[in-house]
Structures are given as structure tokens and as C-alpha cells.
Amino acid sequence: MDSGAKPIWSYLSDRYQRQLINNSSSNTTAFSEWGKIKHSVPQGSILGLLFILIYTNDLPNITADPSKLTIFADDTSIIITNPSPSKLKKILTI
């Protein structure tokens, strides 16, 4: 009996997206070309929240010392500061 369940890899592979483009001045719409999604967590899936946690929870363990990682829900920011512009540039290009 097939329960209809999909393997986890099916949520993460062979996914594509395109953009809807609205032009309000001429009242027309168009679509972009289809593009393959290489990174990200699928939105709207039942497992989406679990994938976000798996994808982001280890980020603080792999960031370098001068950086500060801020994680809130599905939004992540890496903040790097230094009072010296030349040292900051060196940190960012390592």
C-alpha cells in the first residue's frame, strides 16, 4: 500500500522557481525563466520548519571569531566590525 509519503531527499532536490513580474503602468504580467534552486529550505512544506532548524542551528559553530551571528526565526545575519578600514577589509577577504 502506497501511503503517498515522499522521501526527505525529494524535498531538497530538483526544485525550480520563477518570478511573476507585474507592470502596473501597462497592466501586464510576465514570468521570468525557470531557475533551479540550489540552496534554501522549501517553503510551505510540512518539513520546512525542521529543515530551517537543521540548516541554521550549526552556523554559530562555523563562523570566525571576529564575526557575530544573529539568528531569528528564518533570518540570519553575520555582523563583522573593526575600527580600522584596512583591517576590516583584510578580515572580509580571508
What confidence tens digit (pLDDT) does each residue in 5-19 have? 667 777 678 888 888
Separation CA 63–CA 8 (nearest Å): 27
Q: What is the pLDDT of residue 70?
A: 80
Q: What is the pTM of this model?
A: 0.41
pLDDT band at 1 (very low <50, low <70, confident <90, very high): very low
What confidence tens digit (pLDDT) does each residue in 32-85 have? 999 998 877 666 777 777 777 777 777 777 776 777 788 776 677 878 888 888
Check if the beta carbon of residue 17 is closer than 8 Å to that of residue 27: no
What are the respective helix, strand and coil percentages of the chain, to the nearest 5? 25, 25, 50
**Domain spans of the chain, in order of start:** 7-57, 59-94
Q: Which residues contact 76 (CB under 8 A, 6 or more apart)?
A: 56, 59, 69, 70
Q: Please say if the pLDDT value at position 31 is more than 50.
A: yes
Grid cell, residue 83, equals: 575600527
Count of alpha carbons within 13 angstroms of residue 58, beta-carbon side: 4
